[in-house]
Amino acid sequence: MPAPLRLIESSPDLPAEADAVVIGAGITGSFAAYYLAKRGLKVALIEKGVVSGEQSSRNWGWCRQQNRDARELPISTRSLDLWERFAADSGEDTGFRRCGLFYVSNNDEELATWAKWRELAVTMGVSTHMLSGEEATTRAAFTRQHWKGGVFSPDDGIANPRLAAPAVAKALLALGGTVHQNCAARGLESSGGAVSAVVTEKGVIPTRLVVMAGGAWASSFCYQLGVRFPQAAVRQSIMAVATSGLALPDAFYSKSISITRRGDGCHSLAISGRARVDPTAQFVRFQRQFLPMFLRRWRNLSPGGIEGVRSGHEQVTRWRLDAPTPMERMRILDPKVDPSTIRLTRKRAAALIPALADVAMVGSWAGYVDSTPDGVPVIGEVPSVPGLILAAGFSGHGFGIGPGSGHLIADIATGAAPIVDPDAYRLSRFDSGGAIDVAEF
């Protein structure tokens, strides 16, 4: 089933032309379109399904600095401020709150990793507190267990995946931008060696600037342009339970389960990192580069099935611009929930948190998490296609940094001073065939 989502209306007509066309209305594309429009550009946001129908509505909603790889820490810090500023500037509600994130563990190695991460974080001005066993146990009284330790990051928070990207798209409309749903971008036209238009299923939009923020579909779109973008997606499953009136935290992590308040009388429950790998032709194409990542994460991964092929997002075939593409056959990636993960999540939740033993499940859904080989996104210009900016591969943590990513895309597009150094996000880092520096978290 799809995750709960606020639906918004589309603009009536495609524009005759645009200063910028953003392809993909997840959190990344929506914020990119918003920040471009704030700079006075005429922006069209193109979405093959509905705004936020894929990963951006299916996640936990964590907006964290805690345990971020060093390459993503500055953008996550900036994003927290931008979440707040967006609400103040637009009047739209993303559900963002700095409620703090709370982690517990009984594993010495895990606690040592968090303590080591803290050494880095404090040098970058991030506030995070290691908790003693007593502090962690007191704070996690709802688990009725003793914990060896934990960590609390007070400045981090959560936003509501049901509301966030639609709120940003609404803000774009208020700035004069347009939003086009059920409108797949099939490809690009070029003139004089640079992008000159986006070809959509509903017509052509002349433009000199395109942002490809297509999430799990980005690599197959790049393939049409002869651009090699190593990307792979794994399928994660998550459930929501009714928790009104229960004394539970907003955001809590343990290796067993994580829980997050959803803002609609529910909490989502999930097992961090647990996923199915559904083999596809694209997966085979890039498997060598993903080997270090899969070796690092194999404990949480298990083989999937034909779901990836059925979904059609990982194509290594060329499609025509004048005929329906795989994207029009799969408007919204809504992969099958893994029943064994849901059963295990329920069982672990009941064992860990007595208050969750008898709560009703209100829904469960799955999402394809798109990743790069090193677990760090690509955000930057594609050198071989002047006028195209690629922003994808957010590797399971792109929701929280959505505002910073969107801002950075607008910076790159307009030649403004970048909000953070974009060097770590270059596509070309995967060209050399050199060692892959896999993100720790």
Ligand X SMILES: Cc1cc2nc3c(=O)[nH]c(=O)nc-3n(C[C@H](O)[C@H](O)[C@H](O)COP(=O)(O)OP(=O)(O)OC[C@H]3O[C@@H](n4cnc5c(N)ncnc54)[C@H](O)[C@@H]3O)c2cc1C
Q: For residue 225, count other CB atoms closer than 10 A to its CB.
A: 18
367 binds ligand X (CB under 6 A): yes
344 within 8 A of 352, measured Cβ to Cβ: no
Q: Where are the alpha helices (DSSP H) in 91-177?
A: 108-123, 133-139, 164-174
- Least gap, CB of 36 to ligand X (angstroms): 15
- Least gap, CB of 144 to ligand X (angstroms): 25
331 within 8 A of 359, measured Cβ to Cβ: no
- Least gap, CB of 82 to ligand X (angstroms): 14
DSSP state of 330: -
Quick one: 137 or 345, whose CB is closer to ligand X? 345
25 binds ligand X (CB under 6 A): yes
- Least gap, CB of 366 to ligand X (angstroms): 7
* Token reading at 125: 């001005």
188 binds ligand X (CB under 6 A): no
Map the footprint of ligand X across residues 231-270, applying CB under 6 A. Answer: 236, 238
Q: Is 273 helix (H, G, I), strand (E, B) or coil?
A: coil
What's the length of the chain?
441
82 binds ligand X (CB under 6 A): no
Quick one: 175 or 198, whose CB is closer to ligand X? 198
- Sheet with 203-206, strands from edge to edge, namely 185-191, 194-200, 203-206
> Can you say how many angstroms the Cα of residue 63 is from the centroid of all Cα atoms in its chain?
10
- Least gap, CB of 186 to ligand X (angstroms): 7
Give the E-state strand segments of 28-82 in sequence order: 43-46, 62-63
311 binds ligand X (CB under 6 A): no
Give the contacts of 432 (CB within 8 A, at least 6 positions apart).
none
- Least gap, CB of 419 to ligand X (angstroms): 17
**DSSP strand pairing (178-180 vs 157-158):** unpaired
425 binds ligand X (CB under 6 A): no
Among 83, 223, 399, 425, binds ligand X (CB under 6 A): 399
101 binds ligand X (CB under 6 A): no
Among 6, 19, 38, 62, binds ligand X (CB under 6 A): 62
Quick one: 137 or 251, whose CB is closer to ligand X? 251
223 within 8 A of 325, measured Cβ to Cβ: no
304 binds ligand X (CB under 6 A): no
Binding residue count for ligand X, defined by CB under 6 A: 40
Quick one: 90 or 237, whose CB is closer to ligand X? 237
223 binds ligand X (CB under 6 A): no
Quick one: 56 or 256, whose CB is closer to ligand X? 56
Site string for ligand X, 189-208 (x = CB under 6 A): --------------------
104, β-bridge pairs: 150
392 binds ligand X (CB under 6 A): yes
Quick one: 216 or 410, whose CB is closer to ligand X? 216
Quick one: 133 or 326, whose CB is closer to ligand X? 326
- Least gap, CB of 224 to ligand X (angstroms): 9
Quick one: 137 or 402, whose CB is closer to ligand X? 402
Closest CA to 62 of 152, 165, 161: 161
Q: Return d(Cα 393, Cα 9) in angstroms, integer.
A: 28
27 binds ligand X (CB under 6 A): yes
Residue nearest to ligand X according to CB distances in the complex: 26
Among 45, 59, 126, 179, binds ligand X (CB under 6 A): 59
156 within 8 A of 62, measured Cβ to Cβ: yes
184 binds ligand X (CB under 6 A): yes
* Token reading at 37: 């429009």
396 binds ligand X (CB under 6 A): yes
Give the contacts of 45 (CB within 8 A, at least 6 positions apart).
22, 25, 29, 30, 33, 51, 169, 172, 177, 178, 179, 180
* Token reading at 91: 């009047």
Closest CA to 229 of 406, 379, 30, 335: 379
Among 23, 382, 409, 412, binds ligand X (CB under 6 A): 23
* Token reading at 401: 């940094």
Please, what is the Cα angle at 400 between 396 and 405, to 5 degrees?
A: 95
406 binds ligand X (CB under 6 A): no
Q: Return residues touching ligand X (CB under 6 A).
A: 23-29, 46-49, 53-56, 58-62, 184-185, 213-217, 221, 236, 238, 327, 367, 369, 392, 394, 396-400
